[in-house]
Amino acid sequence: MADRRYGFGTLCLHAGQIPDAATGSRAMPIYQTTSYVFDNADHAASLFNLQTFGNVYTRLSNPTTAALEERVAALERGRASVAVASGMAAQMACLLTLCKQGDHIVAARTLYGGTYSQLAVTFAQFGIEATFVDPDQPEEFERAIRPRTKALYAETIANPQLNILDIAAVAGIAHAHGLPLVIDNTLASPYLCRPFEHGADIVIHSATKYIGGHGTSMGGVMVESGKFPWDNGNFPQMTEPSIGYHGVRFFETFGDFGFTMKVRMEIVRTLGPAISPFNSFLLLQGLASTSGTIRSSHGSTTPAWLRVLITRSRNAICLKVPARSFRSASRAVSRRACASSKRAGS
Ligand SMILES: Cc1ncc(COP(=O)(O)O)c(C=O)c1O
């Protein structure tokens, strides 16, 4: 689908899927298999050496999951992506590819709670430190950068405080220091914002949310823009022979999709957070109707999630709402929240 600019709805339905040549199946088949048959020993060797593209084992790649990966990459207008078992796993795989013991991350302090704990507690146990800054003050990202900083990290729309990041400003700071900007685009979705168009280098999704939309399946996706200069001297793990996989030099060998290949062949392969092909299928089913789901939730003046919030708000004192068109809804929320907090005596 590279020769035309397709619309969001068309990409949600078709990107990344080639109708099955053997059966003609219109729907994406579920390849619920762990392993794959090789033509002969040479074929197996060339697959393992990454000289031929193909599938070896579903922990590394799977045709149903590949369709999900290509579809999300197309929606984000990125180069390539890796899908894993959850949003948390996508972040972990991305950041452990960028950082090793002694390295450092500058992150927004308003991150989703699980992400905050992943960086502040779990990564600290691995010897990777994070400094948390106010995402509304882009210059704070710059002040926190150290010689061993390897990434700047933030959410497009912070969960749950709803701060909107000035992606271009933070990307400018990251690039001035030779660092990638990693953006969690879960809350915005590629319908509302495509961070690559504002300078981000890597985009993360908890596919569990808008990508699926139906709430049946966990999943996470990490997309790369293909534009980051990994040979700028800050990322020898991208240019030197890999200790973890056959001495491959990932940037030299795979170029603009070298980062996703390294994520897949080193971190996903050795830590194992593979997504089930069945979940990939269900997330693709979700994407087929995501266009409508996202349009109706993000596109209207009172999005569905805000209506749910209004009806569920009991003791809320203050809610931030991130857009001009949401102001009237915001006033409604404040009125109801005040009324309900008075009733609750808080
Ligand atoms: C913004 C954001 N990022 C990441 C995650 C983690 O995703 P998952 O629950 O799929 O692991 C969540 C989960 O709520 C989230 O809201």
pLDDT digit string (tens) for 47-84? 998 889 899 999 999 999 999 999 999 999 999 999 99
- What is the 107 CA–ligand 1 centroid distance (Å)? 16
Q: What is the model's pLDDT at position 162?
A: 93
State which ligand 1 atom lies nearest to the alpha carbon of 209: 10
Question: 112, 203, 214: which to mutate for ligand 1, most atoms within 8 A of CB?
Answer: 112
Q: What is the model's pLDDT at position 120?
A: 98
Q: What is the model's pLDDT at position 288?
A: 87
State the DSSP H helix or E strand holding residue 333, giving kind and residue range, or none if neither. Answer: helix 327-343
Pairwise CA distance, residues 53 & 58, whole Å: 14
Pocket of ligand 1 (CB under 6 A): 86-88, 112, 114-115, 155, 159, 184, 186-187, 206, 208, 218, 220
- What is the 46 CA–ligand 1 centroid distance (Å)? 37
Q: Is the pLDDT of residue 317 over 60?
A: no
pLDDT digit string (tens) for 124-152? 999 999 999 999 999 999 999 999 999 99
Strands annotated E in the chain: 80-84, 104-108, 129-133, 149-155, 181-184, 202-206, 220-224
- What is the 47 CA–ligand 1 centroid distance (Å)? 33
Q: What is the mean pLDDT of residues 264-284?
A: 97
What fold is seen in the domain 8-287?
Aspartate Aminotransferase; domain 2 (3.40.640)
Asked whether 68 and 221 are in contact (CB, 8 A), the reply is: yes
> 12-16, 222-226, 231-235 — which is least confidently predicted?
12-16
> 82-86, 202-206, 209-213 — which is least confidently predicted?
209-213
Would you tell me how many other CB atoms lie within 10 Å of the CB of residue 72? 29
Q: Whose CA is nearest to atom 9 of ligand 1?
A: 87
Pairwise CA distance, residues 273 & 148, whole Å: 27
Question: 192, 206, 222: which to mutate for ligand 1, most atoms within 8 A of CB?
Answer: 206
Pairwise CA distance, residues 82 & 71, whole Å: 11
Which region, left, alpha or beta, applies to residue 101 given φ > 0 means left and ψ of -120 to 50 means alpha?
beta
Q: What is the model's pLDDT at position 313?
A: 52
- What is the 209 CA–ligand 1 centroid distance (Å)? 8
State which ligand 1 atom lies nearest to the alpha carbon of 88: 11
Would you tell me how many other CB atoms lie within 10 Å of the CB of residue 276? 18
Pairwise CA distance, residues 31 & 54, whole Å: 14
* pLDDT band at residue 20 under the 50/70/90 scheme: confident
Beta bridge partners of 80: 224
State which ligand 1 atom lies nearest to the alpha carbon of 159: 1
Q: What is the mean pLDDT of residues 276-287?
A: 96
Which DSSP string do the residues of 220-252 spell out, in sequence order?
EEEEE-S---TTSSS-HHHHSPPTTTTT--HHH
Domain boundaries, the chain: 8-287
Asked whether 21 and 300 are in contact (CB, 8 A), the reply is: no
Residue whose structure tokens are 């907090």: 341
pTM: 0.87
Q: What is the model's pLDDT at position 333?
A: 42
- Mean of the per-residue pLDDT values for the chain? 88
The residue with greater pLDDT, 251 or 315, is: 251
Q: What is the mean pLDDT of residues 231-248?
A: 96
* pLDDT band at residue 340 under the 50/70/90 scheme: very low
Distance between alpha carbon 76 and the CA centroid of its chain, in Å? 10
- What is the 328 CA–ligand 1 centroid distance (Å)? 28
Q: What is the model's pLDDT at position 147?
A: 98
Q: Whose CA is nearest to atom 12 of ligand 1?
A: 206
- What is the 187 CA–ligand 1 centroid distance (Å)? 9
Asked whether 180 and 228 are in contact (CB, 8 A), the reply is: yes
Q: Is the pLDDT of residue 326 over 80?
A: no
Provide the percentage of residues in the chain whose pLDDT is more than 90. Answer: 77
